[in-house]
Amino acid sequence: MRTSNLKNVGGHATYKDRCVLNKIELRKKEGCVRMLTTKPRGTNDLLPQELEKWHYVENIMREVATLYGYQEIRTPIFEHTELFQRGVGETTDIVEKEMYTFLDRGKRSLTLRPEATASTVRAFLENKLYADPLPVKLYYLGPMFRYDRPQAGRYRQFHQFGVEVFGSQSPSLDAEVIAMAMDIYERLGLHDLVVELNSVGCPQCRRAHKKVLQDYLQAKLADLCPTCQGRFEKNPLRILDCKNGRCQNLVAEAPKLEQMLCEECRRHFQLVQDYLQELQVPYTLNSCLVRGLDYYTKTAFEIVAQGIGAQSSIGGGGRYDRLIEECGGPSLPGIGYAMGIERILLTLEEQGIEFPLQTKGQIFIATLGEKAQKKGAKLAQELRKAGLMVERDYLERSLKAQLKAANRLQVSITVILGEEELAQGEAVVRDMQAGGQKEIPLQELVSYLVKKFRGGKQDE
């Protein structure tokens, strides 16, 4: 019952009305509690165990980026809405229906970044990085936001690693960027990936193709899905890329852009393929690959993983030779790609790829009694300063419980400091794997442990 249905609310609420009001209040409270204990739809908590895998994946990405000569850039999580409208494109799904846009307290329209290319271009221009020697090669890693329908592999907050190169139109760069993406996947151990490749030409070839495509689709317009009917006038090229089965059948025989590329775009496309062959990166041509962002010119590519369900694209990108100028900068070409970290992790899991075991801890310091606790705290600090991973007891547990905790942490060494050992100026060093233990004088303990972990062989 709604509060508006209550006749006597105000001065003379009946007992029944008061009960209903209490119920409404209770439900509101329950709703409120639920909001406090549930994350927003389409977002994920990344817990410590999961994050070990993230760090492993991110480290490989950073390492490879450095090997290929890229430097990191970090841009704001939110930007002026106009940047994405202009930079991503008014007719894209992202701008039309997926952006998290809000007014700040100063009534400015801001948007949580749905992707990072537009932001990187903005930062490149604002910071005049075009004055640096070209090409400028940047990489980024971080969260993106799209109001999409959540499902496995598709989230509202997700993470991308990506690169952008500004200032070169060499087709060899297009091939290298694709090879670099594949290098990352391969180092992670992923297999059965397909590089799908296409050229979406330049505005000149697109204009000619748009007309021919519209003529072809005119008679089929009523049979297209509502989204594609909307795309017919403004952006019919996107119809080729529709995931709806009926649309896919209708466009199977449609004139493809590939057949209408201008001389320059055709040459570029051929050279990209030649270089990919040179770099031994297998690829498949897909003349329906358009990708959802308006800014692409010439090369467009996507990397697809087999067997991870509907959300099978684990990365994609392309060339955008007009975007920098479109955003108010000099006429400079650009190319980039982005890969989804959540989808890479899903694929790793799907393909049964093991992550290298992380060291949980090297040393556990078990202490008994107040004096030993003080000594233990000091020792832990000295060992950490010497670069060793140390855990210790913070709960004043029994020795048995502390050893159990050390086992759970899978440390290799437990140092036991009891009143007795302290009195003798010694500590017990127990090898948790081999099982033996020995007494080491306290003043030699740090150098003994450092040597044990660093130098290895000094023992016995």
Give contact residues for ligand AMP (rule: CB under 6 A): 115, 146, 148, 153-155, 158, 160, 292, 313-316, 338-340, 342-343
Q: How far is the CB of 292 from ligand AMP (least distance, A)?
A: 6
Written as six digits, the tokens of 162 are: 């990506």
Task: Give Cβ neighbours of residue 304 (< 8 Å, ≥ 6 apart).
Answer: 193, 194, 196, 312, 313, 314
Written as six digits, the tokens of 95 are: 């701008």
Q: How far is the CB of 330 from ligand AMP (least distance, A)?
A: 25
Q: How far is the CB of 144 from ligand AMP (least distance, A)?
A: 7
| Rounded Cα gap, residues 356 and 424, in angstroms | 41
Nearer to ligand AMP by Cβ, of 338 and 417: the residue is: 338
Only one residue has tokens 């290098």, namely 183
**Bridge-partner residues for 300, per DSSP?**
198, 318
Nearer to ligand AMP by Cβ, of 268 and 291: the residue is: 291
Nearer to ligand AMP by Cβ, of 239 and 314: the residue is: 314
Q: How far is the CB of 101 from ligand AMP (least distance, A)?
A: 17
Edge-first strand order for the sheet with 71-72 is 71-72, 136-145, 157-166, 334-340, 313-319, 297-305, 193-199, 284-285
> Measuring CA to CA, which residue among 254, 193, 116, 113 is closest to residue 241?
254
Nearer to ligand AMP by Cβ, of 84 and 155: the residue is: 155
Nearer to ligand AMP by Cβ, of 153 and 236: the residue is: 153
Q: How far is the CB of 181 from ligand AMP (least distance, A)?
A: 10
Q: Are 151 and 254 in contact (CB under 8 A)?
A: no
Task: Give Cβ neighbours of residue 336 (< 8 Å, ≥ 6 apart).
Answer: 117, 120, 162, 163, 164, 165, 177, 317, 318, 320
Nearer to ligand AMP by Cβ, of 256 and 343: the residue is: 343
Nearer to ligand AMP by Cβ, of 300 and 413: the residue is: 300
Nearer to ligand AMP by Cβ, of 238 and 343: the residue is: 343
Q: How far is the CB of 180 from ligand AMP (least distance, A)?
A: 15
Nearer to ligand AMP by Cβ, of 231 and 452: the residue is: 231
Q: 200: buried, middle or exposed (CB in 10 Å: 19+, 13-18, 0-12)?
A: buried
Nearer to ligand AMP by Cβ, of 73 and 338: the residue is: 338
Q: How far is the CB of 328 from ligand AMP (least distance, A)?
A: 22
Q: 357: buried, middle or exposed (CB in 10 Å: 19+, 13-18, 0-12)?
A: exposed
The amino acid present at 222, given as its one-letter code, is A
Residue nearest to ligand AMP (CB): 340
Q: How far is the CB of 293 from ligand AMP (least distance, A)?
A: 6
Q: Are 363 and 415 in contact (CB under 8 A)?
A: yes
Q: Are 43 and 330 in contact (CB under 8 A)?
A: no
Q: How far is the CB of 32 from ligand AMP (least distance, A)?
A: 28
Q: How far is the CB of 4 from ligand AMP (least distance, A)?
A: 39
Q: How far is the CB of 300 from ligand AMP (least distance, A)?
A: 10
> Measuring CA to CA, which residue among 211, 377, 202 is closest to residue 297?
202
Q: What DSSP string runs through 42-78?
A: T-----HHHHHHHHHHHHHHHHHHHHTT-EE----SE
Q: How far is the CB of 301 from ligand AMP (least distance, A)?
A: 10
Q: What DSSP string runs through 264-288?
A: HHHHHHHHHHHHHHHTT---EE-TT
**Bridge-partner residues for 302, per DSSP?**
196, 316
| Rounded Cα gap, residues 247 and 224, in angstroms | 6
Which phi and psi (to 5°) does residue 387 adopt? 95, 15
Nearer to ligand AMP by Cβ, of 148 and 382: the residue is: 148
Nearer to ligand AMP by Cβ, of 184 and 363: the residue is: 184
| Rounded Cα gap, residues 257 and 236, in angstroms | 11
Only one residue has tokens 């996507």, namely 302
